[in-house]
Amino acid sequence: MSFKDHFSNQAAVYAQSRPTYPAALYAELARLAPSRGLAWDCGTGNGQAAVALAEHFRQVIATEPSAAQLAKALPHARVVYRQSAELAPAVCDGTVDLVTAAQAAHWFDRPKFYAEAKRVLRPGGIIALWSYWLGRVTPEIDRIVDRFHHETTGPCWPPERRHVENRYGDFDFPFAELPFPALAITREWTAGEMSAFLSSWSAVDRYRRERGEDPMPAVTADLRAAWGGERRIVTWQMFGRLGRTGI
């Protein structure tokens, strides 16, 4: 495959362990869109954002280059899944109200994606790219997560990870920019659920393949010791780029 496939090996754990995005985000995007006819979710993964968008739009085209991810995609009557990278095949020019890329735009060939977004968006259409940073719990737990991210798996992150570290601020963005909503993802999780989330990282998969060992048992033990048996609130600050095409 020509695209950089970082998630097919752990498609199942990705589908099970990644947090969903706040409903307020989708409501705001639907409010900004010129109409609620058609949305395109690019890099849909397991369809998490696409299914949420289908609550606001009559149809959602969801594209994803990984067949393994699409095999885990969530079914919905108004979502059509297609295997594609940065293109929206069979979508006509100027017919899309909203283009989204959830936790995906840092992997894209962005000039190719932007050209396709401009092709399919109707005048006044909205484009939204978003991601989130490391989950925050308590200072002690945060230090464990930070050490695992920066030190243990640090050398195994693809270079595109820098865009997430820079909060997408280093992206070119050839659209009339709008303020991205100030939102956060919150979940009440156990230590085991946080461990499963960490194991879905692309850097963990690369660590296992390149070093022949699993970094998860050690960090899971550290998390359980610091976490205790109760459920704790995990907060991920969201960030992104939001824009509109010319009217």
Query: Would you write out the chain's pLDDT as a tens digit for each of its 247 residues?
Result: 344 544 444 545 545 667 899 999 999 999 999 999 999 999 999 999 999 999 999 999 999 999 988 998 999 999 999 999 999 998 999 999 999 999 999 999 999 999 999 999 999 999 999 999 999 999 999 999 999 999 999 999 999 999 999 999 999 999 999 999 999 999 999 999 999 999 989 899 999 999 999 999 999 999 999 999 999 999 999 999 999 998 6
In a domain, 100, yes or no: yes
In a domain, 137, yes or no: yes
In a domain, 47, yes or no: yes
In a domain, 236, yes or no: yes
Q: What residues have CB less than 8 Å from 155, skipping those under 6 apart?
A: none
Query: For residue 208, which phi and psi values (nearest 5 degrees)?
Result: -60, -45
CA distance 127 to 138: 34
In a domain, 101, yes or no: yes
Q: What is the CATH number of the domain that holds 170?
A: 3.40.50.150
Q: What is the pTM of this model?
A: 0.89
Q: Which domain holds residue 127?
A: 8-244
Determine what percent of the chain is predicted with pLDDT higher than 70: 93
What is the domain count for the chain?
1
In a domain, 3, yes or no: no
Helices and strands (H, E) in the chain, number of each type: 10, 8
In a domain, 175, yes or no: yes
Q: What is the pLDDT of residue 9?
A: 47
In a 3-state reduction of DSSP, which class is residue 131?
strand
Beta strands 232-244 and 121-132, pairing class: antiparallel
Question: Alpha carbon of 24 to those of 31, 104, 180: distances in Å?
Answer: 10, 20, 12
CA distance 132 to 84: 24
In a domain, 1, yes or no: no
CA distance 211 to 229: 31
